[in-house]
Structure 1
Amino acid sequence: MSIRNLQFLFAPKSVAIVGASQRPGSVGATVYRNMLAGGFKGDIYPVNPKHSAFDGRRVFHSLAQLPRAPELAVICTPAPTVPGLIAQLGELGCRAAVVLSAGMDGAARHGGTLRQAMLNAAQPHLLRILGPNCVGLLVPGIGLNASFAPVNALPGRLAFVSQSGALVTGLLDWAAARKIGFSSFVSLGDGSDVDFGDLLDYLAADPGTDAILLYVESLRHARKFMSAARGAARGKPTLIVKAGRAAEAAHAAFSHTGALAGSDLVYDAAVRRAGMLRVYSTGELFDAAEMLSRRQPLRGERLAILTNGGGPGVMATDALIAGGGALAALAPETLTRLSAALPSNWSHGDPVDIIGDAPPERYEAALRALLAGKDSDALLLIHAPTAIAGSAAIARTLLPLLRAADRPVLTCWLGGASVAEARRLCQDAGVPAFDTPEAAVQAFLQQVRYRRNQNLLMQAPSAGGSGAPDREAARALVRAVLARGETAVAAPEAMAILAAYGIPVVGTATVATAGEAARAAARLGYPVALKLLSPDVTHKSDVGGVVLDIADERALREAAEAIGERLARLRPGARTAGFTVQAMARRPRAVELIVGVSTDPVFGPVVLFGQGGVAVEAAPDQAIALPPLNRVLAADLIDRTRVARLLAGYRDRPPADRAALCDVLVRIGQFAADTPELMELDINPLLADAGGVLALDARMRLAPAAPGARGADRLAILPYPEQLARTVHWEGQDLLVRPIRPEDGAAHQAFFAALTPEDVHFRMFGALRELTPAQLARFTQIDYAREMAFIATRTGAGGQAETLGVARVVADPDNIRGEFAVTVRSDLKGRGLGRLLLARLLEYCRAEGLCELRGTALPDNARMLALARELGFSVAAGDDAAEMRLLLHPDAGALV
């Protein structure tokens, strides 16, 4: 739904407990006791028709008796009472409720379910509901414990949202024992109204929350979740435990990729693309949250290991390499500094073994030498206790360096009581401390994965960004198949569609008889491959329906006869539609791959890549990504498979043409975004070698789409909206006004550099000499589902694109109001470009149904204020009179 009224959920000034009780063991009694014990400073209104007081505190017989509308209500009563209570609360003016009741799928009095009746009752009042069937909500900072959890939560700066009630109660106890605190702790329950997307949007803007932790069992609204998750992950570490890692919906399907719909691989792909970090246990969750929220961000992926023992250093190295990490290659100057500070028998490499008799001073010298170099991105300090130097003394000596380090430093204190004090000193100073080398390395690898996912978060590819396919030819073939009442696209038509999208395919002919096959083979040239065509056979090799390297016509006719005999024996009654004849592809050094598309029930179309051939199911090696893709995302998809190592070349085999392979993946994602009818696609095998790529076989499954449906509507991530680009005429030249994209970063930095200090002050309300990388990313790498930035661009000197101006709007998650800004290059001001850009922005806002457009300008920004008035904005002084507020309802604007 939205974040509307969620402030009453997280920061209420009064709470009504409907169904409060003193009956031991009841939910109402537990919630009432927790509310009193939590230290909540607002008003608490117990509601129970059978009591007038609990321990001297007034109890209200009904909601009508309350002295005022509660800002939050906690409902502990049976499910049939909930819709009526929600209706009463809404009429009173309550705007948020926690519904603990289970059983809401039962029938309501006037038809439908109790759940729907509850939602219907809440909707006219915009009353937000957490639950039903949840444990409740805790906000320790204000003493709010609106739950029936057995223990309270400690205050902290981590927000935790869980779909599992059982996990909530156990995890609270676990966290309390480890002194882990929370800004909020939310049991989502059924998520009938307030869901993960709403909570991510709210918590992303919560100044009391440093990191967001999620326990997810299932999702419903993929695009809403992805937009909210991407928005949250841009500003705060956002971590997820996804339950159900085993294959959830693997089943016999039309294609290999189709069998992966609903699989855990899809959730992995979504988490990566959202810039979140997935972990696999609650312990890992909190370790990672601590690392990511307290320490410096990881700048690279090279780890330097400092140890006083060879064995622990080797253990750490093994864990690092097994996890896909990399040791730092120490530069000569770093080695020189270390050699000057260490005994001659030190290891002279990474890991840096400073020998077991190392005193604190040797540790300090080695740590200084490593921190002085630029050849590592993080450090791991391992200490095994010895009788020569006390662990606590070493920790005290190193803490000033550890606190001041310009990169993440992890520590591992091996042992028990003898290193406990050193471990405590580090933890108290905010320096991560681990019990084993493997645990420390795992924490580092989590940072590596998080950094990679953050890089993927910044990608915003176009749905048509890899050259112009022949969409009309492909659409005609798709329509022709569906017009025949068919959904299965056999290899010949599937290959023709791929060719329309620029994917290299082997020469193929479709024939009905062995005689036609012989004539086709003569045209293509021997040797050829002969393949069965049957609408009743999914995998041709299962029935011996593929014969390769046929050298002449006689062998071809014998192969056709043998295929028919095998089909009759193995699949009696299966229909035969003829054969395909293909020229044999002589590429002995090529790697067989599979590329495909599946339609996930939650996330829509997904792209698969992996090792192909007939053993694709027996020895799966596959990865999945959400389309659309660009080359960066395609390369990441390739690198997540084992077959990537074969593609890199080995022995006398040169590397495969990686660029050509990336282009295939981009084009397949483009096809999925263009084609709402596409349900499944397999290209298997796709040959890849140094000479490029070649598709040898393909099959598709289609389904009719609703009139007017667009393929991009099914994508979990809205692609670059290239359809919004316009060519406009300005001062005798054509400009392109289009949405901004990540590739505009360099041009946008140059645009900012061309602004005068005065214009920067007008735009930023302060002095700023240049955009930081983070600011540049924020301006150019946007979520088009929630934000739009139109730039006016032209080709400048040297053929480089120039950004002349930008108009931007950021909508709230409800798509009700948006904040806008317009900036024009300083040397072009006063020439109508700002008006042109703002006109395009208003046109967009109207089309998107935005109800209200707001902006802020400084009182001395006369040009902006005049333009706003000209276009119908109301202009008034802000609350502090230091700025002017601009307001427009787009449908009432002066533009036509």
Structure 2
Amino acid sequence: MTQRHLDRLLTPRSVAVYGASDKPARVGTTVWRNLASGGFKGPIAPVNPRLQTLDGMRCHAGTAALPFVPDLAVLCTPPDSIAGLVAELGERGTRAAIVVTAGLTPAQKQAALDAARPHVLRLLGPNCIGLLNPRLGLNASFTQAGARPGELALVSQSGALMTALLDWANTEGIGFSHLISLGEHMDVDFGDLLDHLATDRHTRAILLYIESITSPRKFMSAARAAARAKPVIVVKAGRAPAGIKAAASHTGALAGEDIVFDAAIRRAGMLRVDTLKELFIAAETLARFRDNRSAELMVMTNGGGAGVMVADAASALGVRLAQPGEALMRRLDAVLPANWSHGNPIDIIGDAPVQRYLDTLNALFDAPEAGAILFVHAPTAIVASRDIAEACAPRIATRRGRVMSCWLGGDTIAPARRLFEAAGIADYEAPEEAVRAFALMQTYRRNQAALRQTPAASAAGEPDLARARRLIDAALAAGREWLDEIDAKALIAAYGIPAVATRRVAATPDAAAAAAFEIAAPVVLKIVSPDILHKSEAGGVRLDLRGEEAVRAAARGMLERLRHERPEARIDGFSVQAMAERPHAQELIVGAHVDPVFGPVLLFGQGGTAVEVLGDRAVALPPLNRALARELIERTRVARLLAGYRDRPPAQLDALCDVLIAVARMLADLPELAELDINPLWADEGGVLALDARVRLSAARPAGVASFAVRPYPAELERTLAWQGRSVVMRPIRPEDEALHREFLEAADPEDLRMRFFEAPHRLSHDELARMTQIDYEREMAFVVVDPQAPGGPRTLGVARLVRDPDNVEAEFAVMVRSELKGQGLGRVLMQALLDYAAARGTQQIVGHVLRENRAMLALAKSLGFDSRADRDQPSEILLVCRRVGRVG
């Protein structure tokens, strides 16, 4: 519905419980007692026409009888009462309600939404447990226990799992900023809550338990924004392959629901874990070890067996153990017994006194190769674990972002573990758990890096869209769902993907032999049939045929076999193509498929006839750039072969990336594209070559930009302008613009930068520039004016930025031009582009914050119809407001 009034839901000042009861085993009884006993400081009221009082408080008959307007209402009444109560509450001024009630029919849910919409009243549920805000003492739920205050927010689609997690967290001493049960999320959903929690100063990490996503583009936009601000960790039910359905293409068969969800999580920069316990392990690690950037682990232990366990776990999880350098080895030799392990893991021997621990830690802290240290201790009778912890904890606390700890044992080491935890040191019950936590950190950093990586520009040219449209329109007009091989190759060739030239269909064996004679080289013969998609499996492919007779005989043999094995198949004839020979080529598959939730997806992996048996594949959500395409390739095993080995040189990865980018663009340009396989696609040191392609079309138009979970670059907004006697380009900013944008900002006058950013200029980091150039086109827009003919190469002349709230009610603008170009009208051109864009997107209001001394911007805004007023929160600023968006003058 909207982002509005989520604060009334999550941080209410007053609460009323409808259906509050005194009867045992009633949901309304539990909800009321949890609320009344939770320590909430604001007004609360039970509502039940049957009762005069409840637990010593006056009970009210209905909404009109309430002595206050509740910020939040909790509804535990029968399904047929919900819509009426929502209407009453909306009229009274309530702006949030939790629908605990289960069993609402689709019509009843729609009636509740219709009643809520005029008042922008937010609905959580139905069929949910409710929510808790421990900081406020708010327990508006029927959980079995309250929660400790903390900085983790948990949003769960399953109420039962939320109660189980709460019980476990209370045992472990873990606290929460919020616990929210979504239920059937007819209104408030994951996207809404991610947007809210991303800016909540009491939440440092967000935990999600997800069963399904209903608004993928909204979810992805909110998830990408939240993941840039704080860790977002996800458990998703349904890793098993039961959801994978049979499909005609290899891509359709391989791109199952769960692997697509994985791709979405990775694209958003979030972290996915497998179990509920890992959810909290990851949260704790990111809280206490997040800033550690080491890719390798150094292990310090007083037991050889514990060290072996760590090494085994590291090998299984792909975690590298650091190699001690010569300087570190000399220093350890000086402080450790002669029989120490002389390697990593560093075994300081079981009789180690306290000073040996401190000496070893000091040596490791001074060694650059020991960036991440795992401290593993097994209790002994020689030195008390508590004494070791008391000595080491203060030292580690000064470097706690470098140390993970594992105290092996139970009651004996409990005091030592508590001392480390109190010092803020990440601690784990078992060595394998610690290594798993480190591996999760590696995955999280990779996902975050992919979120911020600056891509190189693709070398792919503009596609021949007219040719592609003719092929598709002709096929659909003829009632054909599948393009034949020749048209499929022509389609991918229109997007710049090299393909083996194939002769038109030869109707008979004699015609196929004649085509082979014209080619005058070894040929490949394939059957052409709309009913046979996997030709190799049906015996419909013959390779390396030499001479007319060999081709004629092979064609007759194919027909004979198919008459017996596939008598129902329609045979249109044969295709004949020259036999390609590239001895170093690796067989790959590139494909596209439309997922029922996240829309178009791309697949890459090892190709050939055994593609489904090999199962070496990865998927990604479009759109792609070279950085994302390369990351997709690197997630497969075949990537190691593409890097070259023995006498095989490395394949041209840039050419392969451009194929993936081209297929992603096809999905955007061609809504009728339902499935695509390029298999095999050869890749070697000479580039790429498609040997075969299959394309399925659908008049239902399942692809296209509108179905993308991540909105692609809006190329339609690019335009050429005549400005000040030169031709310049105004277009949306792209991730590839990072270098141009850095030069633009670094060339600016320091006073201009202060006017724009309200602070003294500083050297911008990659992350800051990535945030400016890698925008979410669903919620943001930044127009740049670029002079492509500037001396020394293209140069950014100005930029105007618009960031909309998730509801598209309000958007904030900012504009800046090169210092030497001020006063020449470029700022007006950029501002007008923003106003036109906002009008086209239906944005209701544009606002801007401007320093009082920025007279030029204030004058420009006034001429464009903005009202100005003093900013009450920032006396040094003026607030500009434009409620009339679109072209002015």
Partner residue in 1 for 2:698:
703
Mark the CA change 1:364 to 1:469 in structure 2 (over 3 Å): closer, same or farther: farther
- After superposition, the Cα gap between the structure-2 partners of 1:329 and 1:799, relative to the gap in structure 1 and judged at 3 Å, is farther
Compared with structure 1, are the counterparts of its residues 166 and 683 closer, same or farther at alpha carbon in structure 2 (3 Å cutoff)?
same
Match in the other structure for 1:666? 661
CA distance in 2, matches of 1:462, 1:484: 41
Does residue 1:40 correspond to 2:34, yes or no?
Answer: no
Going from structure 1 to structure 2, the CA distance change for 1:881 and 1:404 (only over 3 Å counts) comes to closer
Would you say 1:591 and 2:586 are equivalent positions? yes
Cross-structure match for 1:166: 160
Decide whether the 8 Å contact of 1:463 with 1:719 is kept in 2: no
Change (3 A) 1:756 1:338: farther
Is contact 1:850–1:890 with CA below 8 Å preserved after alignment? no
Deviates more, 1:638-647 or 1:291-300: 291-300
Aligned to 2:531: 536
1:279 paired residue among 246, 266, 273:
273
How big is each residue's C-alpha offset from its partner over 1:621-666, in whole Å with a ceiling of 9 and x where there is no partner?
Answer: 2111111112221222122222222223333333333222222222
The correspondence for 1:549, drawn from 541, 544, 552, is 544
Q: Which runs of 5+ in 2 are unaligned?
A: none
Aligned length: 888
Cα contact 1:842–1:890 (8 A) shared by 2:
no
Distance 1:336 1:462, change over 3 A: closer
In 1, distance between residues paired with 2:364 and 2:874?
Answer: 53
Q: Which moved more, 1:758-767 or 1:351-360?
A: 351-360
In 2: Cα distance, 1:604 partner to 1:464 partner: 24
- The answer on whether the counterparts of 1:155 and 1:182 sit within 8 Å (CA) in structure 2 is yes
Q: CA deviation at 1:137?
A: 1.0
* Pairs within 5 Å for 1:384-399: 384-399=378-393
Distance 1:482 1:330, change over 3 A: farther
* 2:45 maps to amino acid: Y
C-alpha separation in 2, matches of 1:442 and 1:801: 47
Native 8 Å contact 2:656 2:687 kept in 1: yes
Letter in 2 for 1:531: K
Q: 1:830 is matched by which residue type in structure 2?
A: G
Shift of 1:376: 4.7
Q: Distance in 2 between matches of 1:377 and 1:330?
A: 11
Percent of residue pairs identical: 55
Q: Distance in 2 between matches of 1:823 and 1:497?
A: 43
**More divergent stretch after superposition (258-267 vs 226-235):** 258-267
| Deviating more after overlay: 297-306 vs 855-864 | 297-306
Matched residues in 2 for 1:644 and 1:757: separation? 46
Show CA shifts across 1:840-874 (max 9, x none). 21121111111101111121221111111121111
> What SS class does the counterpart of residue 821 from structure 1 fall into?
strand
Matches within 5 A, 1:105-144: 105=105, 113-144=107-138
Secondary structure class of the residue paired with 1:171: helix
Residue 731 (structure 1) aligned with residue 742 (structure 2):
no
Give the equivalent residue in structure 2 for 1:245. Answer: 239
Shift of 1:348: 4.5
1:419/1:524 Cα in 2 relative to 1: closer, same or farther (>3 Å)?
farther
Q: Distance in 2 between matches of 1:799 and 1:390?
A: 69
Deviations 1:132-172 (A, max 9, x none): 11111111111111111111111111110111121122221
Which residue does the alignment assign to 2:815? 822
Q: Tell me if structure 2 keeps the 8 A contact 1:872–1:893.
A: no
Amino acid at match of 2:604: F
Deviation per CA, 1:458-491, whole angstroms, max 9, x where unpaired? 2587998733222222222112211211111122
Within 5 Å, give how 1:438-449 maps onto structure 2. 438-449=432-443
Aligned to 1:60: 60
In 2, the alpha carbon distance for the partners of 1:295 and 1:17 equals 42
| Partner amino acid, structure 1, of 2:85 | L
Residue 884 of structure 1 deviates from its aligned partner by: 3.6
1:263 to 251, 257, 270: 257
- Aligned: 1:809 with 2:796: no
Change over 3 Å in CA distance of 1:525–1:350 after alignment to 2: farther
Amino acid at match of 2:226: A
Contact 1:295 1:408 in 2 (8 A): yes
Q: Partner amino acid for 2:42?
A: G
Letter in 1 for 2:73: A
Q: In terms of mean alpha carbon deviation, does 511-520 or 786-795 score higher?
A: 786-795
Alignment deviations for residues 683-711 of structure 1 (CA, whole Å, 9 cap, x no partner)? 111222333322111111111256xx982
Deviation at 1:219, TM superposition (A): 0.6
The aligned counterpart of 2:358 is 364
Distance change (3 Å), C-alpha of 1:255 and 1:522: same
Confirm whether residue 872 of structure 1 aligns to residue 844 of structure 2: no
1:180 corresponds to which residue? 174
CA distance in 2, matches of 1:28, 1:842: 50
The worse-fitting range, judged by mean Cα deviation, of 213-222 and 348-357 is 348-357
Cα 1:713–1:332, aligned 2, differ >3 Å: closer, same or farther?
Answer: farther
1:436 aligns with 2:423: no
2:615 counterpart of 1:623:
no
Match of 2:464 in 1: 470
> Within 1, Cα distance between the matches of 2:331 and 2:749?
46
**Cα distance, 1:29–1:252 mapped onto 2, change above 3 Å:** same
8 Å CA contact 1:853–1:890 kept in 2: the answer is yes
- Counterpart of 2:5? 5
Q: Quick check: 1:217 aligned with 2:211? A: yes
Q: Give the Cα–Cα distance (whole angstroms) in 2 for the partners of residues 598 and 462 of structure 1.
A: 26
Partners in 1 of 2:115 and 2:284 — Cα distance?
41
Q: Work out whether residues 462 and 722 of structure 1, in 8 Å CA contact, stay in contact via their aligned partners in 2.
A: no
**Letter matched to residue 848 of structure 1:** R
Per-residue CA shift, 1:428-448, capped at 9, x if unaligned?
A: 111111222211111011111
Deviation for aligned residue 1:792: 2.4
1:74, distance to aligned residue in structure 2 (A): 0.7
Q: Give the corresponding residue for 2:344.
A: 350
Instruction: Name the residue aligned to 1:148.
Output: 142
CA distance in 1, matches of 2:738, 2:58: 62
Alpha-carbon distance between aligned partners in 1 of 2:818 and 2:662, rounded to the nearest angstrom: 36
SS at match of 2:795: strand
Alignment partner, residue 70 of structure 1? 70
Q: Deviations over 1:789-846 (max 9, x none)?
A: 2222225876343333221111100001011112233333233222222122112111
* Residues 390/773 of structure 1: CA separation in 2 closer, same or farther (3 Å cut): farther
C-alpha contact 2:594 2:601 (8 A) present in aligned 1: yes
Q: Could you tell me which residue of structure 2 aligns to residue 780 of structure 1?
A: 773
Three-state SS of the structure 2 residue aligned to 1:853 is strand
State which drifts further: 854-863 or 361-370. Answer: 361-370
- Residue in 2 that maps onto 1:109: none
Alignment match, 1:103: 103
> In 2 relative to 1, CA 191–738 (structure 1 residues): closer, same or farther, beyond 3 Å?
same
Of the candidates 369, 376, 379, which is equivalent to residue 375 of structure 1?
Answer: 369
List per-residue Cα deviations over 1:347-401 (Å, max 9, x = no partner).
4443334444433333333333333343354222222334444333333333233
Aligned with 1:714 (options 684, 707, 710): 707
Q: Residue 849 of structure 1 corresponds to which residue in structure 2?
A: 842
Give the SS at the match of 1:418.
helix
CA contact (8 A) 2:589 2:680 kept: yes
The CA distance in 1 between the partners of 2:703 and 2:867, in whole Å, is: 38
Residue matched to 1:766: 759
TM-score by length of 1: 0.95
Deviations 1:524-579 (A, max 9, x none): 33322211211122322332222222222222122112211221222222111212
Task: Classify the secondary structure of the residue corresponding to 2:17.
Answer: strand
Which secondary structure state, in structure 2, belongs to the residue aligned with residue 541 of structure 1? coil
Query: Is 1:677 aligned to residue 666 of structure 2?
Result: no
Which residue of structure 2 lines up, in the alignment, with residue 110 of structure 1? none
- Structure 1 letter corresponding to 2:851: L
Q: Partners of 2:831 and 2:879 in 1: how far apart?
A: 13
Distance in 2 (CA, whole Å) between partners of 1:322 and 1:648 is 23
